[in-house]
Structure 1
């Protein structure tokens, strides 16, 4: 059993950067490092070079450890973007680029899998792995963190079941089902999150500054890692992660069933179910539309446009995955913004409206929503946007001190190596600190009822949003307005 007085290292392989955090068992951050990574986007194509991940990890961990030389590290875990996949050879060497979580080139492979009875979305890892096999030849299906953990321990490692979920791994039965067109030798071995994969080898220690012999623990996806960092692990609690895109994760006693595959269920190391979904709306639209803007100044100017003169559904890339599945969906802008500030406001509000629809869809499925809501992700750096989102949702949100996936991975490593048979909440109750709770401003929620209903009409008329879901969302909007905006969730 590891010493609980040690520090714990979490590594997050994000879309735009690699982040590392060194954290004590009581949640104190001792050091951090962040290094940008590049991607190649071109229409449906979104790739990254796996070699750049390792270079960034080495730099980020060295930065995190720079001011704490000699700190005893009890273990580390790594998370990555859900659905990002590549092929490797038998030694773990990448055979080509990685297809990122929103690469849309495998629609035909996904359709064939669905016709054969396999529940997948177009951007899930399994169809993309088949696309890569057709394009580059056979190889071992490998998820993003596996590349890094293999480099850390010095040999190929099993995948964790969280990242393997979008490769159609059966997390309930803990086994690969029969997958048409996928040879058995292409599938990695799979272990549960929190399983020790090995220890940091001497070569990796020299490159990363992480001491040789440090245990390396199987991680979870970035959405699950952010959920751990939020502490939203008790039934009915939810975490909304807003970064480049939007991910919602909750906790439930039983899986939330969704035959469309829009909502899927991860499983935590302690066995509880973590239902959720990943949208393609998010903060990425801001950098794409306003690459040189000062976000704080634009937020200040946007406050004069509540609501905006336009209604947006701000997709970062073509196609939507949650709260509805529509590979053909494109970004919407209903109306013409009066100015750049009004357009900025429309984008901020559009993400909030999509977030509201995600919660309405979860309610439509019968998911428990009566626990507290937390916000994590890079968007929490904007106080204005955080307040706006709570206004649109009509419910308060907790903001953790360190709302990022890297802290979740540090907590997972700590849990796995100090109290693996206990509930994960035993660890997060000690390591996750709530900085503040943001409440909706009186009267502000009602401002967004009309834009929300207008958006529902537009999504339904295009055939993207199913009529029963739209009807359920309209009913909830009416209930919320009748109750002064309090019908969308319970106060915590």
Structure 2
């Protein structure tokens, strides 16, 4: 394959696969490769064998580079993202000495309780409680985040972690320091995303096909990587990632303060802030309730049920994290849906109601909301659902052509190797495929079921009354307004 100018590799260590993209400066994908990953799930336990990450990475890299002519002259650098909160222990040489506890492993609840009693705002599935659990159950070791292990194998030695992955290990991104908490082990050195970590060593080059000497740049979490790939990096911009669950990530000149810890702030390479939160509502409920269904066919049938006869808060799993913290919350359906199509409609609308409530909560906290909204994730492949969400939110939305986290890491690698501010690099790489506008009258059509849902969430004690009142007060406005 021939092309002009440099290109960059983005590597995404996902839950089910490793994905690698080679992207040019204008966002053109020049090569792509992937390899599957296996995991072990049992109740709240979710582990992966960290040795499989490297094996899968080698396969995915060779797939991405197989048609590239003279990669040594073309690849300007690479960056790696991983799942947020995934940790393991390594020895002094950087080799794994424990399994990897994945982002949603929930066994460290006792450690999390102890940390919260010491004054830290952490959730049970965050990295620091899990690191303490690993140290208690597996003995000594160096606390390591998922991409740190792969970056170390690429450069041939242990590397610092990046502040984005360190956030859920309780790194203070404002002070740029670890907290001083008794009983917490020594934690790794930390650098900002976009910082050079080293160069691909000869052994890694032979295994992966990436040219020796390629700069390796400190990455960010997969959620931040997807945000970069959406182009939502200027203050007031937001990216709504609808996959199995729903994640909202935005950009702000200042941190968005949330005393409950529901919304937390990553720090961008330039020192600005990327606030966001992760809900347990999402498209996973469709798979659970309608196994084997044809989504496009169900969407077509659901269009006759606007609004649905039922109102849903479609949690994928028990407990909610955003837009409110309710560990014991459960999925709910108000009313009786009129058959399968109406239930499908209720679930689609329920996710959009949760999405609106997330935006209302962010507005309640004082987050800037006046920039563009971008839809990404698997749910954004549905044209019907995209339009429905724009209608319920009452605001325009954009859908990019390419939204993989690996593209975001290619952009970060370009920034880290001197191609300019990350906002400008992303503007050049991100291509908008569709722009949606809410249809006249549709936002008002969904006001009553949204109010019913807000009232029910408040009545159950899950949604704080001031947040519920703010959501009701904003009913007559779009979610970008003041």
Q: 1:429 aligns with which of 427, 433, 440?
A: 427
Please name the residue that 1:120 is paired with. Answer: 122
What's the counterpart of residue 483 of structure 1?
none
Aligned residue in 2 for 1:49: 49
Given that 1:200 and 1:213 are in contact with CA atoms closer than 8 Å, whether structure 2 keeps it comes out as yes
TM superposition shift of 1:470: 1.2
Cα distance change on mapping 1:39 and 1:430 into 2, 3 Å: same
8 A contact 2:281–2:351 mirrored in 1:
yes
1:214-253 equivalence runs, <5 A: 214-253=214-253
1:457: which partner in 2? 455
Distance 1:450 1:43 in 2: 37
Distance 1:473 1:320, change over 3 A: same
For 2:105 and 2:318, the matched residues in 1 are separated by 9
Residue 484 of structure 1 corresponds to none
Q: Cα distance 1:137–1:44, how it changes in 2: closer, same or farther (>3 A)?
A: same
Instruction: Return the alpha-carbon distance in structure 2 between the equivalents of residues 205 and 344 of structure 1.
Output: 49
Whole-angstrom CA distance in 2 between matches of 1:282 and 1:39: 21
1:131–1:27 distance in 2 versus 1, CA, 3 Å? same
Structure 1 residue 175 corresponds to structure 2 residue 177: yes
Cα contact 1:86–1:96 (8 A) shared by 2 = yes
Task: State yes or no: 1:370 paired with 2:361.
Answer: no
From 165, 168, 171, the equivalent of 1:166 is 168
Question: Is the CA contact (8 Å cut-off) linking 1:322 and 1:358 kept in structure 2?
Answer: yes
Partners of 1:417 and 1:148 lie apart in 2 by 19
In structure 2, how many angstroms separate the alpha carbons of the residues matched to 1:390 and 1:124? 32
Deviation at 1:100, TM superposition (A): 2.0
In the TM superposition, what whole-angstrom CA distance separates every residue of 1:366-403 from its partner, at most 9, and x where no partner exists?
01101111112222222122112111111111112212
User: Is the CA contact (8 Å cut-off) linking 1:44 and 1:317 kept in structure 2?
Assistant: no
Q: 1:416, CA displacement in angstroms? A: 0.8
The secondary structure found in structure 2 opposite 1:418 is coil
Give, in whole Å, the separation in 1 of the partners of 2:342 and 2:250: 33
Where does residue 109 of structure 2 map in the other structure?
Answer: 107
Cα 1:288/1:134, change in 2 over 3 Å: farther
The change in CA–CA distance for 1:455 and 1:194 in structure 2 (over 3 A counts) is: same
CA distance in 1, matches of 2:361, 2:40: 32
DSSP-derived class of the 2:388 partner: helix
User: What is the match of residue 401 of structure 1?
Assistant: 401
Q: 1:77 aligns with which of 76, 79, 82?
A: 79
Q: In 1, distance between residues paired with 2:340 and 2:35? A: 30
Could you tell me whether the CA contact under 8 Å between 2:369 and 2:479 is conserved in 1?
no
Is the partner of 1:151 in helix, strand or coil? helix
Q: Distance in 1 between matches of 2:64 and 2:433?
A: 22
Q: 1:415 aligns to what?
A: 415
Distance (Å, rounded) in 2 between the aligned partners of 1:232 and 1:153:
31
Tell me if structure 2 keeps the 8 A contact 1:375–1:403. no
Closer/same/farther in 2, CA of residues 283 and 202 from structure 1, 3 Å limit: farther
Unaligned runs of 5+ in 2: none
Question: Relative to 1, partners in 2 of residues 1:349 and 1:273: Cα closer, same or farther, differing over 3 Å?
Answer: same
Q: Does 1:29 align with 2:63?
A: no
Kept in 2: contact 1:372–1:490 (CA 8 A) = no
Q: Distance in 1 between matches of 2:139 and 2:288?
A: 34
Aligned to 1:488: 479
Structure 2 CA distance for partners of 1:298 and 1:18, relative to 1, 3 Å:
farther
**In structure 2, what is the equivalent of residue 16 of structure 1?**
16
Written as runs of structure 1 = structure 2, the 5 A alignment for 1:202-281 is 202-281=202-281
Deviation of the 1:77 alpha carbon: 0.6
**TM-score normalised to structure 1 length:** 0.92
Structure 1 position 490, deviation (Å): 5.0
Cα distance in structure 1, aligned partners of 2:455 and 2:43: 27
Alpha carbons of structure 1 residues 431 and 154: separation in structure 2 relative to 1, 3 Å:
same
Q: Which residue of 1 aligns with 2:356?
A: 356
Equivalent of 2:446, from 445, 448, 458?
448
Q: Which moved more, 1:353-362 or 1:307-316?
A: 307-316
Please name the residue that 2:149 is paired with: 147
Match 2:97 to one of 95, 98, 107: 95
* Residues 60-84 of structure 1: CA deviation (Å, up to 9, x unaligned): 2222222224232111111112122
Q: How far apart, CA to CA, are the structure 2 residues paired with 1:333 and 1:203?
A: 55
Aligned mates of 1:336, 1:320 — CA distance in 2: 23
Q: Secondary structure at the match of 2:85?
A: coil
Once the two structures are TM-superposed, the CA of residue 472 in structure 1 deviates from its matched residue by: 1.0
CA contact (8 A) 1:15 1:244 kept: no
Distance of 1:138 and 1:342 partners within structure 2: 54
Q: What residue in structure 1 maps to residue 340 of structure 2?
A: 340
Alignment check: 8 A CA contact 1:154 1:200 kept: yes
Post-superposition offset of 1:161:
0.2
Distance 1:89 1:391, change over 3 A: same
Q: Distance in 2 between matches of 1:117 and 1:158?
A: 26
Name the CA distance, whole Å, in 2 between partners of 1:337 and 1:207: 55
Are the structure 2 counterparts of residues 465 and 165 from structure 1 closer, same or farther at C-alpha, using a change threshold of 3 Å? same
Residues in 1 aligned to 2:120 and 2:346: alpha-carbon distance in whole angstroms: 38
The answer on whether the counterparts of 1:113 and 1:180 sit within 8 Å (CA) in structure 2 is: no
Greater alpha carbon shift after TM alignment, 107-116 vs 359-368:
107-116
